[in-house]
């Protein structure tokens, strides 16, 4: 069964509004979660690493003020797209390691399709 | 710089064929190599994974071949079925905290 739950699966918002996406680890604690963005027919682009109780680590070129990440508990990380614009329309996917050993696989949520009109 | 290079970009095979997807990496510090399967509108799902101390791993119809000296690994799908039609991503991990993904291969299995 799913080990990472992501909500909502689809969201449509108007330009200028903010959207929050939730990522939950089910039945395990995730001190680290990862947020990816995926454009159609393209690979996964790591946006940021979410660390429980501390600031997220953003990849180069990702605006931290636009993509706010909060990891307030060991089972929940949120990504807020602030002042969304049509170019922010994309598929956003979160993931988490099931364990902390070096060969623990990443488990992904089912993604959130964001459409900004 | 692309840490993991994947080919081909797309692949079409007949049902029962054996599609092969190849990946190459440069960083010899990578210690974990998973493959993910993604259907449209869904997140990637872990398919099979291998560590560098093993040259081959098989799970059901899926096999990973790993060549440490060449820094290459590949996914073979035996007796492919139309339901295997999806996008496949290889990845390489560094201590389980950093994952680098290939560019993906769109597989179509024709009935």
Q: Do A106 and B101 touch (CB under 8 A)?
A: no
Which residue of B lies nearest to A4 if distances are taken between CA atoms?
B43
Instruction: Collect all residues of chain B within an 8 Å Cβ-Cβ radius of residue A49.
Output: 97
Query: Span B10-17, mean pLDDT?
Result: 97
- Could you read off the pLDDT of A57-79 as tens digits, one per residue? 999 999 999 999 999 888 999 99
Q: Which residues pair with B3 in a beta bridge?
A: none
Which pLDDT band holds residue A29 (cuts at 50, 70, 90)? confident
- Could you read off the pLDDT of B22-54 as tens digits, one per residue? 999 999 999 999 999 999 989 999 999 999 999
Comparing CA positions, the residue from A95, A53, A94 lying closest to residue A74 is: A53
CA distance B36 to B59: 13
Q: Do B42 and A6 touch (CB under 8 A)?
A: no
Q: Do B104 and A42 touch (CB under 8 A)?
A: yes
Judged against a pLDDT cut of 80, whether residue A109 lies above it is answered with yes
pLDDT of residue A86: 96
Count of CA atoms in the C-beta half-sphere (13 A) of B83: 2
E-strand ranges in A19-66 read: 19-25, 32-38, 44-51, 57-58
Instruction: Collect all residues of chain A within an 8 Å Cβ-Cβ radius of residue B91.
Output: 106
* Residues contacting residue A32 through CB under 8 Å, at least 6 positions apart: A49, A50, A51, A52, A96, A97, B97
Instruction: Collect all residues of chain B within an 8 Å Cβ-Cβ radius of residue A97.
Output: 96-97
| Mean pLDDT score of chain B | 94
CA distance A84 to A79: 12
Q: Do B44 and A41 touch (CB under 8 A)?
A: no
| Mean pLDDT score of chain A | 90
Instruction: Collect all residues of chain B within an 8 Å Cβ-Cβ radius of residue A43.
Output: 89, 101-104
Comparing CA positions, the residue from B54, B57, B55 lying closest to residue B46 is: B57
Which pLDDT band holds residue A99 (cuts at 50, 70, 90)? low
Q: What is the DSSP letter of B9?
A: S
Q: Do B101 and A43 touch (CB under 8 A)?
A: yes
pLDDT of residue A2: 66
pLDDT of residue A67: 97
Instruction: Collect all residues of chain A within an 8 Å Cβ-Cβ radius of residue B11.
Output: none
Q: How far is B24 from chain A (nearest CA, A)?
A: 16
Comparing CA positions, the residue from A41, A40, A6 lying closest to residue A22 is: A6
- Could you read off the pLDDT of B65-95 as tens digits, one per residue? 999 999 999 999 999 999 999 999 999 988 7
pLDDT of residue A103: 60
Burial class (CB in 10 A: 0-12, 13-18, 19+), A107: buried
């Amino acid at each position: 069964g799913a080990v990472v739950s992501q909500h909502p699966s689809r969201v449509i918002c108007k330009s200028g509004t903010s959207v929050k996406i939730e990522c939950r680890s089910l039945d395990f604690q995730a001190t680290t979660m990862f947020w990816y963005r995926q454009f159609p027919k393209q690979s996964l682009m790591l946006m940021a690493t979410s660390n429980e109780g501390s600031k997220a680590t953003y990849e180069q070129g990702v605006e931290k003020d636009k993509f706010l990440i909060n990891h307030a508990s060991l089972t929940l990380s949120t990504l807020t797209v602030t002042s969304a614009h049509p170019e922010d329309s994309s598929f956003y996917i979160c993931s988490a390691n099931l364990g902390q050993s070096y060969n623990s696989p990443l488990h992904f949520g089912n993604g959130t399709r964001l459409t900004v009109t | 710089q692309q840490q993991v290079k994947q080919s081909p970009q797309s692949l079409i095979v007949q049902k029962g064929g054996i599609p092969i997807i190849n990946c190459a990496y440069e960083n010899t510090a990578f210690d974990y190599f998973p493959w993910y399967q993604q259907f449209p509108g869904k997140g990637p799902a872990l398919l099979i994974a291998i560590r560098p101390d093993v040259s081959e791993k098989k799970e059901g119809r899926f096999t990973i071949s790993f060549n440490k000296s060449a820094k290459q690994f590949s996914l073979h799908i035996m007796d492919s079925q139309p339901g295997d039609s999806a996008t496949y991503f290889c990845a390489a991990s560094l201590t389980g905290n950093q994952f680098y993904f290939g560019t993906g291969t769109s597989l179509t299995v024709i009935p």
